[in-house]
A and B are shown apart, each in its own frame.
Chain A
Amino acid sequence: MFYREAGDFNTSYAQDQQTFPIKFDRYRYYLVLFVAVFVIPFMVNDYWVNSLFLPFLIYAIAAIGLNILVGYCGQVSLGTGGFMAVGAYSCYKLMTAMPDVSMFIHILLAGVITAAVGALFGLPSLRIKGFYLAVATLAAQFFLVWLFNRVPWFYNYSASGQISAPERDTFGILITGPNTEAWATYMFCLIFTVGSALVARNLTRGSVGRKWMAIRDMDIAAEIIGVNPLRAKLTAFAVSSFFIGISGALFFSIYLGAVEVGEAFGINKSFLVLFMIIIGGLGSIFGSFAGAAFLVLLPVLLKIVGVDWLGWPTDIVAHLQLVIVGGLIIVFLIAEPHGLAQLWRVAKEKLRLWPFPH
């Protein structure tokens, strides 16, 4: 009743090809966008932005990127942390080398650099498949982290080996450094998140996305029907790394401000983003958002419940968090291997029939 495809008549090609062809989806999208742009920035304070909204928006970009690679193209990657580090460090080098250029351009350039690195590490995927590839991407993870740790040029020879974001503004509004306004950083990340999601959605429903999915479903069959596996796999690696690089750049410059590579972009980060797309749903843009929201919210909630309400020591809560995250992943895989996105699909199905289910 509420959600239906019927009765939606398109009278032009533009209407037929729009990003959300169904009215309900479109209005929902406009509503979310309206709330995100016109309501949230006026309500947030530093705590909300730093503990919820920034990590959510940034991880959502990373999750979209990884979902393109794993969920759409079927190439399992455990190198997300390393690629985020590439984004962060190239953003840092660009910020310090060209202080006058807008942050928008720096972050996009960081994405482009990461895309190149990602395509390079994607090359073995033409020969190596499945688990072997998953393990091979770990080579990228460890090598890149080591590289940024050991080569002083990347951290501008700073004594601590850390990189920290200098103060930069965009259109006269400060967005990096310690003296930023909460709404400014939020809006800056929001622009990138919305942009990434739109680009990703349109890529995945276009011819590129169909090629990726053909490769995912069976690469030899795809090759036989004329999909070039070299181009499909490398574009998937490049596009995926582009988004992951953007998220790494934002993660460093806007969210953390100062980064030690092994700590911020270690293998745990790779797993975290992987969990997001598993819990959210492989092969779904909405799932990337849902998974990111879930895994950002969970530790905050657990901390509020465990530490603030029950008064348990923080280390016990941290261990419990591991147990709960691990348990949830298993439960999700058993109960709903397609993740939160599938739950949403089921809900839509119910809404379509409600209140007259047969």
Chain B
Amino acid sequence: MPEQLAFTIEVFLNGLMAGVLYALVALGFVLIYKASGIFNYAQGVMALFAALTLVGIMEGQVPFSHLINAILGTEVHHFGWHIPAFLAIVLTMVVMIVLAYCVQRFVFRYLVGQEPIILFMATIGLAYFLEGVGDLMWGSEIKTLDVGLPQGINVWIDEFTFNATGYGFFIDNLDIVASIVAAILVIGLVMFAQYTKQGRAMRAVADDHQAALSVGVSLNFIWILVWSLAGFVALVAGIMWGAKSGVQFSLSLIALKALPVLMLGGFTSIPGAIVGGLIIGVGEKLFEFLIGAPFLGGATENWFAYMLALVFLVFRPQGLFGEKIIERV
């Protein structure tokens, strides 16, 4: 097998893995958008917040320690304990549920019936707010997140492909784990939506708010549930991305990676988020490898996804799997 082709296949596979991670973030968007019509820009910051909280809880950091120290002149930083990863994840999930409750109770309850664009801007405000709160709570320095996920090159694939093709593929163990987790997550969410009472209520709300309300579904509860689910997805995404590249501000920018995925897949479709994620992941890695780096000076990953989605949308404005947009006067 020629070198170039092997490289391309490797890039392709890594693109698939990256695409799974994009899809993971996009999934959180789709959940909230379907159930409440809110386009949640804060999803990326929620992932950052979840990862920060997880690290903070594991390390036993005192929340708001910098602020407390600045006001009271004290020197508190750590409680001095370390919490095992599993327990910390559960605790973080509790925090995310509280957050979901607060978001619903103090923000979106007052914005019911507003135009979608107002809701969207409210989530941008929420993103700034959460980012500030996260930094104030846990400090803004880069943290490493270690929950015991395997990392580094997968030796087995490396050897296997080397024996088969004469070129060993570099595939990160973490990416493989992330893909498996994402797959489980998606299957779990679909099962939840299809086969549980709350899931059915969720779909009812997504279908028609008023009709759902009239048959006795509590909108408030469903929205809190949906925000909690999105918080859970954010936590998972935060763990994966945090383990990959450290917990830092740039983690929140994965929201920007997820947006073109959403455009491509359609805002309302879970399969769309996954297929879109894979297309974008593969597309941008291959474009960077084949055209961007040799001819355009590199770093095309920043915009390629958007351009792809833009060009695509011109031909199909509702995305791959989105509901057909019908406009009436």
The residues of A with any CB-CB pair to B shorter than 8 Å are 76, 124, 127-132, 134-136, 138-139, 142-143, 145-146, 149-151, 218, 220-221, 224, 267, 271, 274-275, 278, 310, 312-313, 315-316, 319-330, 333-334, 337
Contacts of A323 in B (CB 8 A): 128-129, 132-133, 136
Q: Roughly how many angstroms separate A136 CA and B306 CA in the complex, as a whole number?
A: 7
Residues of A within 8 Å of B325, CB to CB, are: 129
A257 to B299, CA, bound (A): 27
Rounded to whole Å, the gap between the CB of A261 and the closest CB of chain B is 12
Question: Can you give 23 contacting A-B residue pairs, CB < 8 Å?
Answer: A127-B317, A128-B313, A131-B267, A132-B313, A132-B318, A135-B263, A136-B309, A139-B306, A142-B302, A142-B306, A150-B296, A151-B297, A224-B329, A274-B121, A275-B124, A315-B140, A316-B70, A319-B140, A322-B129, A323-B132, A327-B125, A330-B125, A333-B122
Instruction: Say yes or no: B124 contacts A329, CB within 8 Å.
Output: yes
Contact A146:B303 (CB < 8 A) given known A127-B313, A218-B329, A316-B66: yes
Residues of B within 8 A of A145 (CB): 302
Contact of B111 among A76, A313, A333 (CB under 8 A): A333
Judge whether B120 is part of the interface by a CB distance below 8 angstroms.
yes
Q: Which of A132, A151, A218, A320 contacts B132, CB < 8 Å?
A: A320
B54 within 8 Å of A (CB atoms): no
Closest beta carbon of chain A to B80's beta carbon, Å: 23
Contact with A along B117-140 (1 / 0, CB 8 A): 110111011111111110110001
Pairwise interchain contact B122-A330, C-beta atoms closer than 8 A: yes
B111 near A334 (CB under 8 angstroms)? yes
Q: Which residues in window 99-131 of B have CB below 8 A to A? A: 107, 110-111, 114, 116-118, 120-122, 124-131
Contacts of A315 in B (CB 8 A): 66, 140
Binary contact readout B301-329 vs A (1 if CB under 8 angstroms, 0 otherwise): 01100110110011001110000010111
Min CB–CB distance B39 → chain A (angstroms): 5
| Residues on the A chain within 8 Å of B329, using CB | 218, 220-221, 224
Chain B residue nearest to A151 (CB atoms) is B297
CA distance A218 to B300 in the complex (A): 36
B262 at the interface (CB under 8 A from A): yes
User: A220-B329, A326-B126 known; A139 and B256 CB under 8 Å?
Assistant: no
Q: How many angstroms from the CA of A124 to the CA of B67 in the assembled complex? A: 47
Pair B120/A131 contact, Cβ less than 8 Å: yes
Q: Which of B117, B124, B256, B328 contacts A138 (CB 8 A)?
A: B256
Question: Are B302 and A131 touching (Cβ within 8 A)?
Answer: no
Do A135 and B128 touch (CB < 8 A)? no
Given A329-B121, A334-B111, also A131-B132 (CB < 8 A): no
B298 at the A/B interface (Cβ < 8 Å)? yes
Contact between chains at B129 and A136 (CB < 8 Å): no
Question: In the docked arrangement, what's the CA distance between A70 and B74, Å?
Answer: 48
Q: Enumerate chain B residues within 8 angstroms of A220, measured Cβ to Cβ.
A: 327-329
Residues of A within 8 A of B114 (CB): 333, 337
* Interface contact A316-B303, CB-CB below 8 Å: no
B116 touches A130 (CB 8 A): yes
Report the 9 A-B pairs with minimum CB-CB distance, sorted nearest first: A326-B129, A322-B132, A326-B128, A329-B125, A323-B132, A139-B306, A142-B303, A319-B135, A143-B303
Nearest CB of chain A from residue B38's CB, rounded to whole Å: 11
Asked if A135 and B309 sit within 8 Å, CB to CB, the answer is yes
**Is B260 interfacial (CB-CB < 8 Å)?**
yes
Check B313–A136 contact: CB distance below 8 A. Answer: yes
Residues of chain A within 8 A (CB-CB) of B111 are 333-334
In the complex, the chain A residue whose C-beta lies closest to that of B307 is: A139
> Given A326-B128, A333-B118, A319 and B136 touching (CB < 8 A)?
yes
Q: Mark B5-16, 1 if CB is under 8 A from A, else 0.
A: 000000000000
